[in-house]
Structure 1
Amino acid sequence: MLMEAGLPANPRLTRTLPAAKAGIVHFGPGAFFRAFGAIYTNDVMDPATDKWGIVAVSLKSPTARDQLMPQGGTYTAIERGPDGEKTQKINSIVDVLVAPEDPQAVLAQMADPAIEIVSLTITEKGYCYAPATKRLDQTNADIQHDISNLDAPRTAIGFIVSALNQRRQAGQKPFTLLSCDNLPSNGQLLRNLTLEFAKLVDPALAQWISTHAAFPSTMVDRITPATTQADIDRLAETENYVDLGCVVHEPFRQWVIEDNFVGARPNWEEAGAQIVANVDAHELMKLRCLNGTHSSLAYLGYLAGYELISETVADPSFAKLCHQMWQQEITPTLPTPEGEDLPAYCQALMERYENKAIKHRTWQIAMDGSQKLPQRLLGTVHDCLQMGHVPKGLSLAIAGWMRFVGGVDEKGQLIEVRDPMAAQLKHAYDAANNPAEKVLSLLAIHQIFEPQLTENQQFVSAVQAALSGLIHKGARQMVAELTQ
C-alpha cells in the first residue's frame, strides 16, 4: 500500500459536483455496475439539475458504502485498452445504503414517487431461483423469511414486492424494474419471480403488479476485472488522490434495452445504449458467444495453470478452441440479431480476450458456476443435441467445471470454490469413485441439469470421456487434442 511504501499520503477523492436528485435505486453496487450502468447514467446527466441520481443498495456487505460515501459517492473509472489508460470521475451515485443495517430506509427510498427505476446487478444467485426450472426457490431461507416479514426483507425480490406493495397502498404508480444481469430474458425472469413471490403474499398485489409494472429485458456487456490494491496505488501515483472505490474496465461496452418503461428514464441512447423492441436475440448472442466461451476458458484455463484470460488465449490451442466452439457449436444455434454480424462479433470477442491491459482472472469468472451453467453452456448443448450434433468443446468445458468444483487442481492444490452450492457439488464429486460415476453424480443435481440433457446418452458419454481425460491427461493436453 502507499503508506507502507513510504510514499507521501495523498488526499482521498472527494465529490466536487453537486449531487443530483435521486431517480434510480440500484441493487448491487459492485464493480460491474460502477463500470457500466453508473457510467452510462453519468454520461447523460447534468448533476446540477438532473433527477437521475442513483441510490445504490448493498444486500450484504458494507464495502461499497465504506468505499464510496467518504468520497460523496464519486469514484474513478479506469479504462484500460491496448492503446493505454484513461480515467473518468463518475458522479451519478448519490448515496449507498446497506440493506441489513436499515431495511426500512431502503423501502422508504423505493417507495418515494421520485424513484422511477429500480435496477439490479445482483448476479444469478441474487434472484433466489432454481436455474434449471427458473422458478422461485421457496426453500431458500431468506425467501421464507421475506414472505413472513415483508416489512424487513433480506432479498432483492422481497424488497421489490414490499416496496411495490407500499406504492399500491399509497395510490402511487409502480417503478420500472430493470434487470442488468447476465440472464436470458432477464426482464421476463424477474417479472415471473416477482409475481410468484407476490402471489404468496397477496394475490391482489400480484395482479396489480402484473397489470401496472414494467420489466424490460436488457443485454449488458463490458469486461470488468476486480479492482486490486495495485490499481488503487497506481491511480494515487498518477492522479494524486486515493480512491478506494475505483473500478477498472475495458474500452468496449454494449447495452441493449427493451423499450418498455412505466414512466420516465434517462436518455441512455445519447451515451450509445440501443433501445429496441426486443432484446432476446442480442442477449442470446452475448450469453452464448461471450459468456459461454468466457466460462469455458475460466474452468479449463484455471486447470491448465493460467491465471488470466489473456494468458489463456495466448495459448494457441485455447484460442483455437474458442473459434472452434463459436463456428461449430455456438453460432449455428443463434438467430442473427438486428444490426449484428456474428463472425465479426466473435472476432471482436477474441480481440477483447487478448487485451493484456485487462487482468481478468480465470478464478473470478469461475465463481458461481452452478448458477451460470444453464444460461451460458447448457442451453447451447440442448440446441446442438436437437440438431443432431454432440458439442465436444462444450462437453469439455462442462467437464472442466466438474473438475473445478471437485476442489483440487491438477497439482493437487486445493481450489477455493465460491458457489452457493459448493458443499453439495463437492460431496457429489467426492462420493463417486471414478470419472464416469462422478459425471453421473453431478448430472443428477436437477437444480442445474434438466432431464433432457441427463437422459441423452451421447452427451453423458462425451462429458464422461472429457472428465476422464482431464483427470488423467490434464486440461492443456485435452484442449490440444480437441483442436488438432
Structure 2
Amino acid sequence: MLPLSLATLDQLSQDVVRPAYDPRATTIGIVHLGVGAFHRAHQAVYVDDILGHDPQWAIAGASLRRADMRDALAPQDNLFTVAVRSGEGTQLRVIGSLRSIDVVPENPAAILARMVDPAVRIVSLTVTEKGYCHDPATGDLNTAHPDIVADLANPRAPVSAPGLIAEALRLRRAAGIVPFTVMPCDNLPSNGPTVHRIVAQYAALLDPAFGRFVETDVAFAGTMVDRIVPATSEEDIAGISEALGVTDAWPVVSEPFTQWVIEDRFPTGRPDFASVGAQMVADVEPFEKMKLRMLNGSHSTLAYLGYLAGYETVSAAMANADIEKLCRDLMTDEVIPTLDLPEADLPAYRDALIARFHNPALKHRTWQIAMDGSQKLPQRLLGTVRDRLATGASIDRLALGVAAWMRYVTGTDENGASIDVRDPLAARLKALGDTAGRDADALVKAYLGVEEIFGRDLRDNKRFSDAVKRGLAMLLEKGARATVAAYAAGDIH
C-alpha cells in the first residue's frame, strides 16, 4: 500500500475523517516539546479542529530524545491517524495540525529558531514528569540532573526542556520579541506555577536578572489534560493501515473521552480553545488535583496491583471484581474527601473513570502505566496521603498502592520472573530491594529513605510506614490477588 500523505488523502476509506483544511495553508503558532502518543491524541486533535477556521495555530513539534517519530511521520507529510476505540467500534481520523518535527539532539538550533519566530505565541509541553528535570518531592529544579548540568555548561545548545525554553526566551528578549506563553500539559501538581519556578530557577543560574525577567514577564498557563492513550502496537499499525487503505507508520489509539482545562493566561493571544471543547478557567489547580488524585492515583494503584496479579491490561485487571471495588473505594473513601471542587460532580466522575478503565478495546498495558513510578507517586498518591494524615483519616488503600509500587520495583514478580522496571531510579531501587530481601520492614525502611520521593515527613511518619508495611507484608506473603481481595473485603487488620 501507498503511505498516508497529502497526496493519498483522497484515497482513504470513505468513513475516515480527514482535515477540513489544507495543512499547507496553515502557519505555525505553537511549538510543542515532546511529540508522543498523548500529544498526538489530545492537543493535536483540538488544534486540528481549530485550524478549520483559524489557520495560524499549526504545531511545530520537537523530540527531545529520539528521531523515530520524525522518521516515521516525515514521509507522511506529518499526517497521522487517531483511532478512537470503544466497545461500539473504532472511528478513524487523520490529523493535519502537526507540520514538522525537529530532533533536539541532532540540531538544537532548528527548534530554537522556531521558538524565536514572532508568529509562535505558545510553547506547550508533554515531556512526562521526568522531563522537567526537577525534584518531584519539592517541585524545584534538580541542579544535579545530567541534562541541567550539561545545559548550564553549554546553554546555547540546550538538551533539556527547561534549557530550551530559557534559551528561546533569552533569544527573543535580545531580539525585542515579546515572550511566548509556556503551557505545560503533563501530570504535575500546579503544573503552571511548578514549571514557571523550574524555568526561572534555571534562568537565574545563568543570570539573576534573566531569572527575574522569566519570573515577572513570562506567562505560564497551567492545564489539566485527560485522555487514555495506550502505546501503539504492531497489531494496531497493521489493522489501522488496512482500514485506511494506505499505510500509517505510527498511528495512535485512544478512548472516546477527552478533556482539557486551561488557565486563560495568554497575553500575546491564543486559539479559541473553548470553541473546540476546552474549558478556560482562572485557576486550573482544583481540576488538576481531581484528575491527578482520582484518575492517575487509582490508575497507578491498579497498574501495580494488576501487573503483580498477572493482568496484562487495565480492562483485564478491572474484570477482577476485587480490583474494581478497591479502586472505587479508594476514590470514594480516601480521595474524594480531600477535594474541594463544588463545580464538579465527583461521584459521577468516579463512575465515569470506572467505566473508562473497563473499556476492553484500549488494551492499555499495566506495565506501561507502571513506568516512572518514582516521578509519579508524589503527585498521584502521596499528596493525598499527606492530606489524610493531617486529619487523622484512614490511608489503608493509598498505602497499599505505595506498597504495590515497592513490591514492583524490587524487580521480581510473584513467579520469580524479572520485571522490566522502567524508572529513572530503577537501578538504585533494585539495589535497595536486593539488600533488604523479602522482608517488609527492611524494604519499607529502605524505600521510604528515598527522599526525592517521600521527603522526610513521610519517611518519619509511623502511621504511614506501618500502613505500607501491612500492605507490603501481605503482598509478599499472600500475593496480589489475595491481598486485593482482603482489602476489598475490609479484612486487613
1:428: how far off?
A: 1.3
1:270: how far off?
A: 1.1
1:11 — aligned with what?
2
182, 186, 190: which one pairs with 2:195? 190
46, 50, 53: which one pairs with 2:55? 50
- Matched residues, number: 473
> In structure 2, the residue corresponding to 1:389 is in which secondary structure?
coil
1:245: how far off?
A: 2.1
2:454 — aligned with what?
449
1:291 — aligned with what?
296
Q: Which moved more, 1:367-376 or 1:75-84?
A: 75-84
1:450: how far off?
A: 1.6
384, 387, 390: which one pairs with 1:386? 390
1:330: how far off?
A: 0.4
The one-letter code of the counterpart of 2:419 is I
Show the 5 A alignment for 1:197-208: 197-208=202-213
102, 120, 143: which one pairs with 2:125? 120
The one-letter code of the counterpart of 1:11 is L
Q: Give the distance between the partners of 1:451 and 1:326, measured in 2 at CA.
A: 26
The one-letter code of the counterpart of 1:14 is S
Identity of aligned residues (%): 48
Q: Give the distance between the partners of 2:385 and 2:146, measured in 1 at CA.
A: 32
> TM-score under structure 2 normalisation?
0.95
268, 273, 282: which one pairs with 2:287? 282
Q: Give the distance between the partners of 2:214 and 2:467, measured in 1 at CA.
A: 45
Q: Which moved more, 1:384-393 or 1:242-251?
A: 384-393
Q: Which moved more, 1:185-194 or 1:388-397?
A: 388-397
1:390: how far off?
A: 3.2
Question: Contact (CA 8 Å) 2:263, 2:280: kept in 1 or not?
Answer: yes
Q: Give the distance between the partners of 2:188 and 2:215, measured in 1 at CA.
A: 21
1:262: how far off?
A: 2.5
The one-letter code of the counterpart of 1:46 is G
Runs of 4 or more off by more than 4 Å in structure 1? Answer: none
Question: Contact (CA 8 Å) 1:281, 1:337: kept in 2 or not?
Answer: no
CA 1:397–1:18 in structure 2 vs 1: closer, same or farther (change >3 Å)?
A: closer
**RMSD across aligned positions (CA):** 1.0
2:64 — aligned with what?
59
Question: Contact (CA 8 Å) 1:78, 1:246: kept in 2 or not?
Answer: yes
The one-letter code of the counterpart of 1:250 is E
Q: Does 1:27 align with 2:27?
A: no
1:18: how far off?
A: 3.3
Show the 5 A alignment for 1:40-189: 40-46=46-52, 50-189=55-194
Per-residue deviation, residues 57-81 of structure 1 (Å, max 9, x unmatched):
0000101101111101111110001
1:337: how far off?
A: 4.8
Question: Contact (CA 8 Å) 1:406, 1:425: kept in 2 or not?
Answer: yes
Q: Give the distance between the partners of 1:458 and 1:244, measured in 2 at CA.
A: 51
Q: Give the distance between the partners of 1:451 and 1:333, measured in 2 at CA.
A: 22
Q: Does 1:342 align with 2:346?
A: yes
Question: Contact (CA 8 Å) 1:173, 1:212: kept in 2 or not?
Answer: no
> In structure 1, the residue corresponding to 2:454 is in which secondary structure?
coil
Q: Which moved more, 1:423-432 or 1:301-310?
A: 423-432
223, 228, 232: which one pairs with 2:233? 228
1:417 — aligned with what?
421
1:351 — aligned with what?
355
Which residues of structure 1 form unaligned runs of 5+? Answer: 1-9
Q: Does 1:376 align with 2:367?
A: no
421, 435, 453: which one pairs with 1:431? 435
1:51: how far off?
A: 1.3
Q: Give the distance between the partners of 2:272 and 2:252, measured in 1 at CA.
A: 24
Per-residue deviation, residues 139-164 of structure 1 (Å, max 9, x unmatched):
11210111121111110100000010
Q: Give the distance between the partners of 1:247 and 1:148, measured in 2 at CA.
A: 37
Per-residue deviation, residues 380-405 of structure 1 (Å, max 9, x unmatched):
11111111023111111111000110
Question: Contact (CA 8 Å) 1:174, 1:262: kept in 2 or not?
Answer: no
